[in-house]
Amino acid sequence: MAALDAATPDTGAGQADPQAFVRRIDGRSHLDLLVRGATCAGCIARIESGMLADERVEQARLNLSTGRLALVWRGEPSAARGFVTTLGEIGYPATPYEPENEHDPQKEDERRLLRALAVAGFAMANVMLLSISVWSGGLEMSAAMQSLMHRISALIVLPAVAYAGQPFFRSAWSVLRHRHVNMDVPISLAVLLACGLSIYETFIGHGETYYDAAVMLLFFLLIGRFLDMRLRARASQAARGLAAMQAATANRLRSDGAIEAVPAREVRAGDHLVLAAGDRVPVDAVIIEGEGALDGSLVSGETAPVEARPGVQVFSGMLNLDGKLVVRASADRDNSLLAEITRMVEAGEQSRSRFVRLADQAARLYVPLVHSLALATLVGWFVLAGEPHTAVINAIAVLIITCPCALGLAVPAVQVVASGRLFKAGVLVKSGDALERMAKIDTVIVDKTGTLTEGRPRLVEPETLPEGMLELAARLARTSRHPLSRAIADAAGMGPAAKDVRETPGGGLECVEDGRRLRFGAARWLGIDAISDPHSEAWLVVDEGDPVRFRFADRLRSDAAETIEGLRQRGCHIELLSGDRPGPVGAIAAELGIGHWSAELKPQEKIARIEALKAEGRTVLMIGDGINDAPALAAANASVSLASAAEISQAAADFVLQGNRLANSLVALDISRSARRRVLENFALAAGYNMIAIPLAVLGMVTPLIAAIAMSGSSILVTLNALRLARR
């Protein structure tokens, strides 16, 4: 089923100029368009192939649920107008994608469908009254009276069909004008044939009309299309709600001190913005004036308010809870954190998995196959029955019942629901085929520092240190941002810092205080023999006295043991690969019961291990967070990163865990496996429907009305099966 409204998009003054919404990234132009009328896999294929036919276009991905078409092309932003025109010519009007815009074309499409549905329902009810009179009258009703009834039915049905059938007729005509076909072509053909045959029978033939069947066919098709639209809107609610959290306007502070309200998309890096209490942060920024608190749950997953003070980085989507803040924008809206999260959520619905490609190929074969089948049915019944009436009715039933809408929805519906469910659980999906790959993993590779552990060393047993040594070390440590220095400062608490401290990179800290030379740092720098154990270490030397050893440990994440045990229970082989020293790595592996571990690995060595496992026939999941993990994340069959990870690692991963809860990787695995089962079930439902319905229609055992009910019911059944994923 294709475009709901094939009219060419308005190019008047009311139409937003798409060029104004183009983003330039790495020398390429990026534009998000809201495309109207796409309803199935066939529409996706038509739109994307139409865009990719232009040699400048490098990427064209349509999100079926939100109608968002992501275009990337080489060349100037001015090409955007031509792309919008091309979409209109192939039957899919498009406008710049603005999530905060109150003017929602999908709601307009829903209202249009409801009006068409109401007209078809009204006509159906009245025509059925007339038809019942004709059926029940039998021989007692004169031929003249029956003819009158049929003529009245024609007066009711024909205008109703002309109006209620527009979603199908316009779509079919728009593609036929460009010498293409889509799923609405045989539907329109079936409706028109039913009406045409009825008109012939009314004025020329024997009076056996099918006005009731034609209008009831439209009624049930419209019900199916409307419910499908509503169900898909419900399934994509998470992505739409997230996009709507982007502030529509911003209060920009001008150089003369005046405040002006501007659209958030006009904010540029360096602009000064004013945030009142209750305002959402429109773009990523840094606070330069004011104090208060922010709701940062969108970014961190934590419900506790974030302290707002000068120098603090804030992100788009955060809510200013109290106080007035002045911030300096560090990015425009399209490059802000919330925009990136939104794209990551929607990307989960756009990528092409093996299942999607299979469904697309089947949908493209549909039109020529069904037309051939309907023609064979027409000819066969004409030869067998010797008259055209039965042959035409059976051919109409074949045209209707073979619509592969259920097949086209089988995979996208599941991906949409699974992505929304994962988002609610705190997991961002970056590609739809990641769900398919994740479902098949049997081996998990985990990093240590920052993944299994918190990535923040803590001082071990400070109470065993000689008296006064902790405070002396802390006086030095408070001047440094080194992780071990920060651990010392945290353990000692608030206090004064030493003055004139000199820091040697890779060595340590030293100063002279009260006539004493204080040095705190690495054993090698101090000329001390290091002790090999699972702990990291640093040493404090006062003058030429005996060195004092400080031991540090990176604490396990609170849910690390739960995660490893959960993966083991799900049948996964687990290995720990780390670049850290053997002592700490072995200790963590022993604590978590991981039998296979390796330490002091370089990035290429991690990749080599992953490739070796894949060569053994294993499907590998990599969980990591560091910059050095990015190559391994990309090499694995599927990959997971944490929200606290380096940006390059998040970019390489398929799933990003918000709130830094490692146990959410179990949620991702469970939902991915459930999604795979739902896809297979949907394929089975679609195949079973066609195996039963098509032979019945060809054999003349299905009327056009029953065919319409069966076709709409199969699409709804597939979507409802996908929505089972949304249940907790």
Closest CA to 672 of 277, 233, 355: 355
Catalytic residue among 184, 212, 271, 447: 447
CA gap 3, 545 in Å, rounded = 83
Q: Which helix (H) or strand (E) holds 117?
A: helix 105-137
Closest CA to 690 of 418, 365, 383: 365
Residue-by-residue DSSP string for 33-98 = EEE-S--SHHHHHHHHHHHHTSTTEEEEEEETTTTEEEEEESS-TTHHHHHHHHHHHTT--EEE--
In eight-state DSSP terms, residue 266 is G
Task: Compute φ and ψ for 229, nearest 5 degrees.
Answer: -65, -45
Considering only CA atoms, give the Rg of the chain.
33
Residue 511: strand, helix, or coil:
strand
DSSP percent split of the chain into helix, strand, coil, nearest 5: 55, 20, 30
CA gap 482, 602 in Å, rounded = 23
The answer to whether the CB of 670 falls within 8 A of the CB of 728 is: no
Residue-by-residue DSSP string for 597-659 = EE-S--HHHHHHHHHHHHHTT--EEEE--SGGGHHHHHHSSEEEEETTS-HHHHHH-SEEEGG
Per the rule left: phi > 0, alpha: psi between -120 and 50, beta: everything else, 517 is beta
Q: Which amino acid is at 662?
A: L
CA gap 652, 644 in Å, rounded = 14
The answer to whether the CB of 4 falls within 8 A of the CB of 109 is: yes
Catalytic residue flag (residue 184): no
Q: How many residues make up the chain in this entry? A: 728
Q: Which residues are catalytic?
A: 447
